[in-house]
Amino acid sequence: MRKARNIVGLPIFCLQTGKKVGNVNDLLISQEWQVHGICLRQKNWFTTPQYMKWESLSSCGDDALTVEENNLLTEWDAESITLLDGKRKVKGLPVVTTNGIQLGYVEDVYLEEQLGNKIIGFELSEGFISDLIEGRKWLPYEEPVIQGEDALIVPVHCQDQLKDFIVDKEE
């Protein structure tokens, strides 16, 4: 299991040239809850945001990501679903069951190990004080999860699948 926010900030290097392509700024998420792109940090305010398709990655290590070629960048649509920034970001959205029970707010998502791009679960928070007293919760990904404008909607039985989660001391 790999924490998505641990990928944000990592440098991306080209294997052919050894040149740094950029740094990961955010992740693009598909409607099927898979990471389909890596947003790169913009050089300045006037440049168009660019991303690299997840399939372009050769590896995703603890310290850097690598690609075979460095000319794999594409402009991305600001309406895309992202993890951290943008109009349709996932972080901070409340998670609500279909019967109206709020389970918490999305703090992070978890991916399969290595180059896995499938989201396998959500880290949920109920706020700073609650995180300190009770800790965060882990919600395994269960279809269907609907990403709406103002909330993630999950099946009713997800309330029973919440597990205690220990907050990482680095946060």
Q: How far is residue 124 from each of residues 53, 114, 141, 146, 156, measured CA to CA in Å?
A: 27, 23, 12, 16, 16
CA–CA gap between residue 169 and residue 171 (Å, rounded): 6
Identify how many contiguous H helices and E strands the chain contains and give both numbers: 2, 17
Structure tokens at 142: 């269960």
Q: Which helix (H) or strand (E) holds 161?
A: helix 158-161
Cα 154 → chain centroid = 18
pLDDT at 134: 83
CA–CA gap between residue 124 and residue 94 (Å, rounded): 9
CA–CA gap between residue 59 and residue 82 (Å, rounded): 21
pLDDT at 171: 46
pLDDT at 43: 66
Splitting the chain (171 residues) into consecutive groups of 10 residues, what average pLDDT does each group show? Answer: 91 92 91 90 72 90 88 70 89 95 95 85 90 88 89 94 67 46
Provide φ and ψ at 66, rounded to 5°: -130, 150
